[in-house]
Structure 1
């Protein structure tokens, strides 16, 4: 069962540029061998327009931190404590419906292996256009044009043609750039 608690008295982001604030984040997985603490007391602030790099060895909790911020942890086997505030909105206690509105609209993750994050059954352009249409109500035509524009923005040559390609037709670096384009829309 998921344990979601809000840290008492944890400060919200300060200043006009406060965008994301994480306070005393603790993520624990329930396993057959007992609880496994994947993140233990992580705190940071990210100002709007800034970049934050989280580095560490394999298994140190980098991906778990990002997945938890996005609300993509398994609630049956995960305990999350602390506070995550995005633009003044507390995320740990947010409903799945609220998180769906934020994911792809206010926040996104570019996964380490883009081939597993992209569906082999749909074109790159469709996969970039889909979240844009969902979050903006744009037409298919406008969504497609946005996908082509974003592919150009991330440096994909011949973006109008390449948008019709499938993930297996892109190199690893191009798939990564397609995922960046998807996150940017």
Structure 2
């Protein structure tokens, strides 16, 4: 790497994620490598069952540690994610890494408003007041193109279209 090249923000090297099942070992991810620069977006595409979700969940540290074998390297902003503690991963989630799940309706609680759910995440990571979290939720809805965010912040997930739910996520 030359002095003008930047270190990747996310580097995945030879990632292997295998699960033990009653039917034997499932090789969900088997030798994946990529780099992602800060400020860039990466789209992972592939057929159903090709390991897209498993890759993302492993990066986020949202895997069953007791039944999953992980090899390789995942480094986010100079932090080795495979040796990070749960507490360290919680601090990184939502601040430096996140995943927008394909089925936003299944990821959002039907019992809480969109604004409360966005605000709760913001409060957890910043310690902001409920009022500040609500203002942030309105601003975030505005940024992703939700019409009338001051009103829609009090809507429940079923009141949003599928695309609006994904943007809210």
> Which TM-score band (shorter chain)?
over 0.9
Match of 2:75 among 81, 85, 103: 85
Determine if the alignment matches structure 1 residue 41 to structure 2 residue 31.
Answer: yes
CA apart distance, 1:104: 1.1
CA apart distance, 1:51: 1.4
Measure, in 1, the Cα distance between the counterparts of 2:17 and 2:80.
16
Segments of 5+ residues of structure 1 without an aligned counterpart are: 1-10, 180-185
Measure, in 1, the Cα distance between the counterparts of 2:5 and 2:72.
21
Determine if the alignment matches structure 1 residue 112 to structure 2 residue 122.
Answer: no
Measure, in 1, the Cα distance between the counterparts of 2:110 and 2:7.
39
Segments of 5+ residues of structure 2 without an aligned counterpart are: none
Measure, in 1, the Cα distance between the counterparts of 2:96 and 2:133.
18
Q: Aligned pairs, how many? A: 167
Number of the residue aligned with 1:149: 139
TM-score with structure 2 setting the length: 0.95
Number of the residue aligned with 1:26: 16
Encode CA deviations 1:3-29: one digit per residue, 9 max, x unaligned.
Answer: xxxxxxxx9xx9435200000000001
Number of the residue aligned with 2:47: 57
Measure, in 1, the Cα distance between the counterparts of 2:142 and 2:80.
35
Measure, in 2, the Cα distance between the counterparts of 1:106 and 1:115.
23
Number of the residue aligned with 2:154: 164
Match of 1:75 among 54, 65, 89: 65
SS of corresponding position for 2:9:
strand
Quote the RMSD (CA, aligned, Å): 1.4
TM-score with structure 1 setting the length: 0.87
Measure, in 2, the Cα distance between the counterparts of 1:120 and 1:77.
30
Runs of 4+ residues over 2 Å off in structure 1: 14-17
Measure, in 1, the Cα distance between the counterparts of 2:41 and 2:139.
23
Encode CA deviations 1:126-177: one digit per residue, 9 max, x unaligned.
Answer: 1001111111111111110000000011000010100000111111111111
Encode CA deviations 1:43-99: one digit per residue, 9 max, x unaligned.
Answer: 000000111121111100011000000000111211111000000000011111111
